[in-house]
Structure formats: C-alpha cells, structure tokens
Amino acid sequence: MQERLQELKADALKQVEEANEVKALQDVKVQYLGKKGPITEVLKGMGKLPKEERPVIGQLANDVREEIATAIETKKQKLENEALEKQLEEETIDVTLPGRPAPTGGPHLLTNLIEEIEDLFIGMGFEVAEGPEVEADYYNFEALNLPKGHPARDMQDSFYITEEILMRTHTSPVQARTMEKHEGKGPVKIICPGKVYRRDTDDATHSHQFTQIEGLLVDKHVRMSDLKGVLNAFAKQMFGEEREIRLRPSFFPFTEPSVEMDISCKMCGGEGCSVCKGTGWIEILGAGMVHPNVLEMAGYDPKEYTGFAFGMGPERIAMLKYGIDDIRHFYTNDVRFLNQFHKA
C-alpha cells in the first residue's frame, strides 16, 4: 500500500508539472484528492490492515495528500501570475491612472437619529421592541383605554383595512403586546421605534406616514420623578447639556397624570425668539404615568405595579436639532437635501 501511495504521488506531481492552465489543475485535484479519488480509496481500505500498520499508512497518506495539494496551489499561483503578466503586456490602458471614485450612499437622516436615540436608551437599560404595522383595533385603541366610540380616537384617525384591522396610529400597541406577554409580572423597560400612519393632510408639519419612538417602564414603585429623570437625561444628551426641561399638565387617555415636555429654546437660550414664539420653550414630546386601566387590561395589578410612558417623533426632533423647516423633505428623496446630513 505504501508503494501504491508513492506511485499516486509521483503520477499526480507529474500531471501538475505538465498542466498549463488552471482548469487542468482543478481536474488533477478532483482526480487525486476528491471524495472518489484513489487516495480516499486507500484510506477507506485501512480497516483491512494490521493495527500496527494503520498509523504508518495513515500518516503517509496524509503526507501525500498535503504534498499534492501544495504542488497544485503553487502551480496555480504561478499560472495566475503568468496570465496576469500576459494580460498587462497586451492591454494598452494605463493602469497607473487613479481610479474614478464611486459615489457612496449612507443611512437616511432619520435612520441615524433613531439609532442614536436607541443607543441612548439602551445605555439606560431599555430594550428595543417592535411590532406589526398592520394592527388590530384592540391593541391600537381598546387595550390603551380607548374603547370604541371614545372621542379621543378622532385625533388618531387612520387607514382601516377592515372594521377591526388598521394601519397603526402609534407604536403604543407594541407596549400593550409586550405587557401582555409578561403576564402581569415586571419589570418591563422598552422603547418602541417604527412607522405609524394617520389620515393627515400633508403639509410642512404633518404627514400621513411618519416615525415614532415610544418608551415604557413598568415595575413596582415607579414614580413621576423617575420619568422626569429619564426625560431630562434624554434632552441633555440629544440637545446639549445646557438644555432645561419643563413638564406641563396635559391629557392622554392611556396615561394619568399626563404631561407635555418642553425644552429650553437653543436659539435664544430661553429668552424668547421667533423659533419658540417668544416663550423660551419648545414642545418636544408627550408622557405620563401609565393609566391603571391600561395596566389592568394587560394583566397587571395597578395596586402593585406602576409605570410611565412617553412618545416622541424623530422627525420633529430632527427638525429642531438640524433646523429643518418642512417634514416633507424627509420623504421626497431629494439627494441635495440628504447629502447635507450624510455624516450627521
């Protein structure tokens, strides 16, 4: 069997030496090193050998296989180099000329901003949760303390597919679904980014489709001061350490109490200007403590668990942060606009 292996090696190396193209080398490789090759057959027959001969034959077979493979690779490299040299000699193109740089794209401004916000909240221990854009009426409204016929539904008129299926009007359904999965046991600490849809007339500040990021924290002993601390950290990270925040009473059916959060105007430092309409403050998002009814419908005992929720629009944040005056710029795909924020 040793003689057989030596013969195979000699034959293979001879064919490698005589090969004058890469395809011929590949044929040699398949012929001698393939699964049905003679070396593989030798290895399969080792079971018939005496035990003391098996290690010797096995080592020899591996050495032969490695030597053939090395010879093939060396010859292949040689042939490729020769082919390249021949090609360079035949071509008349000056390959020393610098290449033409291909224009590269990048993430959309909103994508960058959403990922920045995600990273910020992940750093505070939140997880990113997602859900369907085509949503059930129950999760979009009823599970959020908005039963059928509730007047607050008029503020979120949407695109209905059936009477019970619609394009979601906010990412709050993700919160309801996540709480439901936890079966009344905390804690829940998530942010929910995604597209939402409403039957708005498109203008400089409204769009029938836009993005939203909502946050939710449910646990024992969660307080309004916890909400303020999280929002304060968000505002300073996103708009600068010098920014101040204020919370104003408001109304949302799914939170009680509810607040609107304003940040001090960065254009005038809170002194009052045309951007903030003379108030020194700019509205940025809505928030509040999760309504007991919402907790109860999700399976939580509102006497044991409390929580806070908040929601913001990345488009609005981008408009304030970068001085963009029309929400439609985000969606018209004007490269002149997008290129301004390629590195943002």
Mean pLDDT by 10 residues, the chain (344 residues): 78 84 85 78 72 77 84 88 83 76 85 94 95 94 88 79 93 94 90 92 86 95 95 92 91 93 83 80 93 94 95 91 88 87 69
Q: In angstroms, rounded to a whole number, what is the distance separating the alpha carbons of residues 51 and 21?
A: 42
pLDDT computed for residue 278 by the predictor: 84
| Sign of CA pseudo-dihedral 195, 199, 202, 204 | negative
Could you give the 3-state DSSP secondary structure of residue 107?
coil
Q: Phi then psi for 175, rounded to 5 degrees? A: -65, -45
Cis peptide before 132 (omega within 30 of 0): no
Q: In angstroms, rounded to a whole number, what is the distance separating the alpha carbons of residues 260 and 263?
A: 10
Record the pTM: 0.67
Residue 80 annotated as binding site: no
Instruction: For residue 57, give every residue at least 6 positions away whose Cβ sits within 8 Å of its Cβ, in sequence order, or none.
Output: 1, 2, 5, 42, 46, 49
Q: With respect to CATH, is domain 109-341 assigned 3.30.930.10?
A: yes
Q: What is the DSSP letter of 34?
A: S
Q: What is the DSSP letter of 160?
A: B
C-alpha separations of 120 from 127, 234, 244 in Å? 11, 7, 18
pLDDT computed for residue 28 by the predictor: 83
Q: In angstroms, rounded to a whole number, what is the distance separating the alpha carbons of residues 21 and 143?
A: 71
Q: Domain map of the chain by residue range?
A: 2-91, 109-341
pLDDT computed for residue 322 by the predictor: 86
